[in-house]
Structure formats: structure tokens, C-alpha cells
Amino acid sequence: MRTAEIASRYLDYFETRGHLVVPSASLISPNPTTLFTIAGMVPFIPYLLGEKTPPRKRMASNQKCVRTLDIDEVGKTTRHGTFFQMLGNFSFGDYFKEEAIHYAWELLTTPQDKGGFGFDPAKLWVTTFTDDEEARSIWRNEGMDPERIQQMGMEDNFWTTGGPGPGGPCSEIYVDRGPQFGKEGGPIADENRYTEIWDLVFENYEVDNVKSKTDLHIVGELANKNIDTGMGLERVAYLLQGKNNIYETDEMYPVIEAAEKLSGRKYGEDADADVRFRVVADHVRSALMIMSDGVRPSNEGRGYVLRRLIRRTEVAMRRLGVTSEVLPYLLPVSKDAMAPNYPELNETFHDISEAAYGEEDAFRRTLEKGTTILDVAVGNAKKAGNVVSGKDAFELHDTYGFPIELTLEMAAEEGVKVDEAKFRELMAEQKSRARADALKKRGNVDVSVYDEIKKSLTAPLEFVGYTTFSTRST
Ligand code: ATP
């Protein structure tokens, strides 16, 4: 089942059960404290908090998400992407635990020819919050083997906003991928073998004093109980498509194939190279989707995340042996794989690709200069304690525009460390030198008084010295 079909099957299922299906909100988070939309519930927060009335009490969506926290996991685990899609069904003061669990179980276990996803019930496991006997009894009534219901505490299975307000227990659903993927014993024993696919959150409490997840105070029951769920589309896709990980699904694998062609190497032959192929598949798609929501590369915030994704793609391809430009080959492939679900890409792609290719060109110039220097520094490090000196890292930054993360990543690839403390010290010294220089340029005097005078003027100053002599008498 293609990824786009899994998404529409999910949304159809909930639409026929009275949910209003809404399009994904932008990746640019409406919440000023996060750069990107990190979960399906983000656009619904005002409804969950009771601040706004939802257009319907039951809603569902397929939300585009970006989690940069997971960037180092990419390619190494089977299940973490920087960009991914979260399917979700929500109830704002309408149905609660019983229906939420029933819908999840029914959709997952109904055979594919009858509209469901056809998971074998014997391979499904769930976790519930330790105190939530009600959830466990609902799962048992649905047909879940009690042996495959595990309990987790506050840290893992209790949701809050991080402050006073709604909160409540969660129940997470996992799929057992089989003994070849790890040890027995359910998700508590091995989260690689047992892949989490869906999280059901039952918001029924009002909480305050949320010092930490394990130290909060339950004020009482909410008048309006909410359901908020999130299912990882890529995770369900790789399991249903019989693949090993999310990067091998129909929306990402074409990029791996294109990278194989460019590099002349084969995916599946070498573990390190495979991580790089997967990083490329993930990052090219994330860059495409982030740009599709209007972000362009820059030195801060979202633009910097995008810049890092493009740079990491370039570096990963270099490590696969490709030194020529790569995005003009990889980006259109990713666009074609994503366009069935995001037809707007066909309109925006021209602008996106121009900006992406320009960014790649600029970075390639930086890389060409810096890589040789880094190679020498890494060679030296291998002879002396396996640490690249802070001075070399600083020179790479200062003279060749190599961001420190890149030096760290490239050095790590070669199995050496970087003296980051010394690098930071040199950076701090450089900053204070720059401040001192700026002061010198102003003649080492406090000229702020002139700035004040300038601010108090009501009309712009005009220089009249070329045409007018001073009439001031001495
Ligand atoms: P994990 O512990 O596996 O990182 P999580 O507990 O952070 O997942 P939730 O925040 O509960 O995940 O998100 C709901 C669902 O979204 C998860 O069950 C999973 O299927 C999916 N998901 C979360 N993070 C990612 C990611 N980085 N890439 C792909 N899918 C994800």
C-alpha cells in the first residue's frame, strides 16, 4: 500500500465516523516557542485548551511535522525522520477513551480488502499508564491479549502541555517486527524490535504545579474531555510495505536509487554507506517540504535548520564519493515522490529548486576550500591522540566558513574528536577583539551623546560647508 493510500484510508475511516477532515497546517509553527510544527495536535491547541470553538467536535488530519531533535537519529534507527507525517483523530469534548481505543484497534486489525490496515492482532502490543486500569480493560475487551499490555509511568505515558492546563494518560501502540530485530519482552524490553506506531492521549485531567513529569498535581477532572492521537505515517508505511525502515518506503526510496546512480555504489552493501544513503533520502525530502512552506536558507532559525539539511546532504554524498553537484538530480526525484500527496509542489518547485541549487553552489565553494584543510587536520589528529585541535577547527570556521557542527560531524565520520572547548575559547577571544576594534574605530570615546543629539533632530542634517562660510565670530 503506497504511503498516499495509507493516509487517505486513515482519513476516510475517520470521515465516515463523523470527523471533519482538514488539510495539514504549515510546517511553520503557529507557536512562537518552537520553530516547526512538531505534532498533529499543534494546530488544534486552541480547541484542546477550550480557547476557541472547533468547527466540529470530531476532526482528523494528516499533519506535516519536522523534529530537528531527531536529526542525529536519522539513518541510524529504522524509524526517525526529520520530516514526517502524523495522522491524527481528535475529539473535543465528544467521544473519549472507549471509542478512541476501539477505532484504533478496528482500523489497524480490519483486513486490507475491508478498508483497514490488516495488521495481525498477535503482533500488536500496547502500553498504558500505570494507574489507567480503565484503558487496560477496554483493550482487553477489544481482544488484545493481556500479556501484550505493558504499563509505563509518568515519564513515558502521561501527557501535559508542560504547564498548568489539560493533561492525561496515554496509551501507545507498537508492532512486533519479529525475533530477527531484537529481544523478546515487548516495547519495555526493546523499542527497535517493537516499533511505536500510534499514540493515543486521553486528556481528562486539569493539572498544575507541573515542575516535572513526575512531580505534578492533578487538580481534578476536566469538564470537557479530549482525545488527541498521533500515528506515524512513515512507520505504518514501512511496516505495510514490508521494508526495513522508513527510508525505504515509496516516498523516500527513489532518492536512494538516484543517489546510487550518482555514486555508482549500491545501497545494502556497506553499513556506513547505508546510513549516508538514508540521511540523503531523509534530508532531501525534509529540505523540499520545509522550502515548500516558504522557508529559505539563512543563518538563523528555520533557515539555518534548512541550511544544515542541505549541507549534511552534500557532505553525505561526498562521503559516498560524489564531488559534483547533487541537488539538481535528487530534488526533482523527491518532488515526484511527494507530489501525489502534495500537488502544490508542482507549482512551487521552480522557486524551491532555484534557491536550493544556489545554496548548494555556495556551500560547494566553501567545502572545496575547507575539506582539504580538514583532511590534513584529521590526519594530524590521527597521529596525536585522535583529537582535531581547537586552533584547526577555529581556522576552518574563520577562514573557510566551516560551521563547527560540520567539522564535528566530518571529524566524527573519521572517528576523531574535536577540541571544542579550545575552539569556543578562540571564538570568545575573537569576539572580544572585534569589540575592542569597534571601540578603536570610534576613537575610544563614548560617542553615544552624538547619537542622542541625532535622535532629537526633527529634520535630517544637511552639510552646508561647501557653499556657506561660518558666521561664528571668534
Ligand atoms: P519515539 O519514542 O519512537 O521517538 P515519540 O514518542 O516521540 O516516538 P510521539 O510524540 O508520541 O512519538 O508521536 C506520535 C507518533 O508519531 C509516534 O507513535 C510515531 O509513529 C510518529 N513519530 C514520532 N516521531 C517521529 C519521527 N521522528 N519520524 C517518524 N515518525 C515519528
Q: What is the pLDDT of residue 470?
A: 42
Residue with the smallest CA separation from ligand 1 atom 16 is 232
**Rounded to the nearest whole angstrom, what is the distance from the C-alpha of residue 243 to the centroid of ligand 1?**
18
Mutate-to-test residue for ligand 1 from 79, 170, 240, highest number of ligand atoms within 8 A of CB: 79
Q: What is the pLDDT of residue 437?
A: 66
DSSP state of 80: -
Q: What is the pLDDT of residue 474?
A: 32
Alpha carbon 198 to chain centroid, angstroms: 17
Residue with the smallest CA separation from ligand 1 atom 11 is 199
Distance (Å, whole) CA 271 – CA 76: 10
199 lines ligand 1 (CB under 6 A): yes
Element (H, E) at 170: strand 165-176
Do residues 241 and 263 make contact, with C-beta atoms less than 8 angstroms apart? no
**Rounded to the nearest whole angstrom, what is the distance from the C-alpha of residue 327 to the centroid of ligand 1?**
28
Q: What is the pLDDT of residue 33?
A: 79
Q: What is the pLDDT of residue 31?
A: 79
Residue written as grid cell 536519522: 74
Q: Is 321 exposed, middle or buried (0-12, 13-18, 19+ CB in 10 A)?
A: exposed
The long-range contacts involving 175-183, CB below 8 angstroms and separated by at least 24 positions, are 175/119, 175/123, 175/124, 175/125, 175/239, 176/123, 176/124, 176/125, 177/239
In the chain, the amino acid numbered 70 is D
Q: What is the pLDDT of residue 217?
A: 80
Do residues 60 and 41 make contact, with C-beta atoms less than 8 angstroms apart? no
Report the candidate in 350, 395, 352 with the shortest Cα–Cα distance to residue 374: 395
Count of helix runs (H) and strand runs (E) in the chain? 15, 11
**Which mean pLDDT values do the consecutive 10-residue runs of the chain (474 residues) have?**
96 98 94 88 89 96 92 88 97 97 98 97 96 96 96 89 83 97 95 96 85 75 91 98 96 98 97 95 98 94 93 90 96 96 95 97 87 88 90 86 82 90 92 71 46 54 50 36
Q: What is the pLDDT of residue 234?
A: 98
Do residues 397 and 404 make contact, with C-beta atoms less than 8 angstroms apart? yes
Atom of ligand 1 nearest to the CA of 172: 18
Do residues 338 and 288 make contact, with C-beta atoms less than 8 angstroms apart? yes
Distance (Å, whole) CA 9 – CA 4: 9
Report the candidate in 299, 297, 301, 321 with the shortest Cα–Cα distance to residue 310: 297
DSSP state of 28: B
86 lines ligand 1 (CB under 6 A): yes
Report the candidate in 15, 65, 17 with the shortest Cα–Cα distance to residue 40: 65
Mutate-to-test residue for ligand 1 from 6, 199, 200, 239, highest number of ligand atoms within 8 A of CB: 199
Question: Phi/psi at 41 (nearest 5 deg)?
Answer: -80, -15
Atom of ligand 1 nearest to the CA of 191: 3
Whole-model pTM? 0.85
List C-alpha distances in Å: 429 to 27, 246, 388, 394, 435: 38, 45, 19, 11, 10
Neighbour count for residue 300 (Cβ, 10 Å): 8
Distance (Å, whole) CA 349 – CA 263: 25
Task: Tell me the residue length of the chain.
Answer: 474
